[in-house]
Structure 1
Amino acid sequence: MTDTTAVRVMVVDDHPIWRDGVARDLAEDGFDVVATADSVRAAVARAGAVTPDVVLMDMQLPDGTGVDATVGVMSVSATTRVLVLSASSERDDVLAAVKAGASGYLVKSASRSELRDAVTATAAGQAVFTPGLAGLVLGEFRRIAGGGDADTDNPTPPITERETEVLRLVAKGLSARQIAAKLGLSHRTVENHVQSTLRKLQLGNRVELTRYAIEHGLDG
């Protein structure tokens, strides 16, 4: 079983029964639940005080949105990663969350084990999406690019076809080992492709790489 004890989590939701239930489940699964919050204001204040590794973020809060809270949290705690946990799977909500800096997006129908694995993966720097949502966001950015709204002054740097293929799978939330199995490559080769792509695009980690893929509509 994956070690969760070092992962510090904050749960942001304005429904106390749901918020407390999720916090309790995570604590029982071994996470260190360092805070909960019920509003944008509280989320930003507490994130600045406790610097959690992962914030589980609802999209609908009484004094704003999860997008507002995500921007605020990341401004006061730069190392925190935000994983949206929302009842909404609407394109606009998913797209807005990713643009604001969220590392992933789960809908509230996710099982307890799916949530546990998603929090662990988010803490490790992976992008996590409920199945179908990554494709939805990629498709939206392809549509925008196809409509002529893409930034033509900032062309995609020259990455190879294989690097693009790996990047597309990273954007879907696959781990390096899963990508290796899918493409028939070694784990080391996949990691080399990822590191090469990071260098070429001047990005710092897989979350930034995923965001780049979404913004440029790279789907292989």
Structure 2
Amino acid sequence: MHAIRVLLVDDQPMIRTGFRLILEAEPDIEVVGEAPDGAGAVERARSLCPDIVLMDIRMPHMDGVEATRRIVAEGLPSRVVILTTFDLDAHVVDALRAGASAFLVKDGPADSLVDAIRTVAAGDSVLSPRVTHSLLDRFAHLGAPAAPDVPSRLGALTGREVDVLRALSRGLSNAEIALELGVGETTVKTHIAHILEKYGLRDRVQAVILAYDCGLVVPRGRR
């Protein structure tokens, strides 16, 4: 079985050591390298091609947002999990828009770190519905659809794909979407795959951000 290869990126050596100890205790995770800043992260991601880059968001020289942007822009196979000291860090949304696949708070439990790395590496469900809902609640504050009309930027989607995207934006799981729309869960997965493919998105979180940016859903305060 292929071990999940992880690159640790943080400007504090003690933080990197702590994460290494946690991750190397897992039989299916291998720490393949470390970097002290974003520039080093990009360089090491190129040379090591890790499955996961565990990236601090605030670092000198180059922060985690810009490093994430460059890793994604270069088409490297690594997926980025962002680390932040504060769960309301305004830069988290910027990092997700840049292509990060998840975010974690540094003072969270160790098992949440391990679970997130496995989930992101699996690729099927990059963020759980619970984490997606938390993300929306804390950062996007998404509410009702902006209007019955579909924004022009989403014109490539079918009507059912728009319905699925709206449901995703409410933090619903695939099973919940299937129940609400009266279709099978496999059909929901197919619609999500089509949405991601049509707009070049990496995962469902990026799809939610697309819905927010396009005005398909709006902040509660703006309704």
User: TM-score scaled by structure 1?
Assistant: 0.75
Contact 2:133 2:171 in 1 (8 A): no
Paired residue for 1:26, among 14, 23, 32? 23
What secondary structure, in the 3-state scheme, does the structure 1 residue paired with 2:66 have? helix
Go from structure 1 to structure 2 and tell me whether the alpha carbon gap of 1:214 and 1:9 turns closer, same or farther (over 3 Å shift).
Answer: farther
Contact 1:138 1:219 in 2 (8 A): no
Query: 1:136 is aligned with what amino acid?
Result: R
Structure 1 residue 166, shift from structure 2 partner: 3.0
Go from structure 1 to structure 2 and tell me whether the alpha carbon gap of 1:185 and 1:27 turns closer, same or farther (over 3 Å shift).
Answer: farther
Go from structure 1 to structure 2 and tell me whether the alpha carbon gap of 1:89 and 1:77 turns closer, same or farther (over 3 Å shift).
Answer: same
Distance 2:74 2:170 in 1: 28
Matches within 5 A, 1:177-216: 177=175, 179-180=177-178, 185-198=183-196, 201-203=198-200, 205-206=202-203, 208-216=206-214
Go from structure 1 to structure 2 and tell me whether the alpha carbon gap of 1:171 and 1:36 turns closer, same or farther (over 3 Å shift).
Answer: farther
Distance 1:178 1:6 in 2: 32
Matches within 5 A, 1:27-42: 27-29=24-26, 30-42=28-40
Go from structure 1 to structure 2 and tell me whether the alpha carbon gap of 1:16 and 1:217 turns closer, same or farther (over 3 Å shift).
Answer: farther
What percent of counterpart residues are identical? 33
Contact 2:55 2:80 in 1 (8 A): yes
Distance 1:60 1:68 in 2: 10
The answer on 1:133 being equivalent to 2:131 is no
Unaligned runs of 5+ in 2: 219-223
Aligned twin of 2:102? 104
Aligned twin of 2:50? 52
Structure 1 residue 114, shift from structure 2 partner: 1.5
Larger deviation, residues 206-215 vs 40-49: 206-215
Contact 1:138 1:218 in 2 (8 A): no
What secondary structure, in the 3-state scheme, does the structure 2 residue paired with 1:155 have? helix
Contact 2:99 2:202 in 1 (8 A): no
What secondary structure, in the 3-state scheme, does the structure 2 residue paired with 1:85 have? strand
Structure 1 residue 50, shift from structure 2 partner: 0.3
Distance 1:71 1:59 in 2: 12
Go from structure 1 to structure 2 and tell me whether the alpha carbon gap of 1:202 and 1:93 turns closer, same or farther (over 3 Å shift).
Answer: closer
Contact 2:42 2:71 in 1 (8 A): yes
Contact 2:57 2:92 in 1 (8 A): no
Query: 1:41 is aligned with what amino acid?
Result: A
Go from structure 1 to structure 2 and tell me whether the alpha carbon gap of 1:215 and 1:141 turns closer, same or farther (over 3 Å shift).
Answer: farther
Distance 1:205 1:100 in 2: 11
Unaligned runs of 5+ in 1: 147-151
Query: 1:132 is aligned with what amino acid?
Result: S
Aligned twin of 1:12? 9
Query: 1:188 is aligned with what amino acid?
Result: T
Paired residue for 2:164, among 162, 166, 179? 166
Structure 1 residue 157, shift from structure 2 partner: 1.6
Query: 1:105 is aligned with what amino acid?
Result: F
Structure 1 residue 32, shift from structure 2 partner: 1.8
Query: 1:18 is aligned with what amino acid?
Result: I
Distance 1:26 1:16 in 2: 15
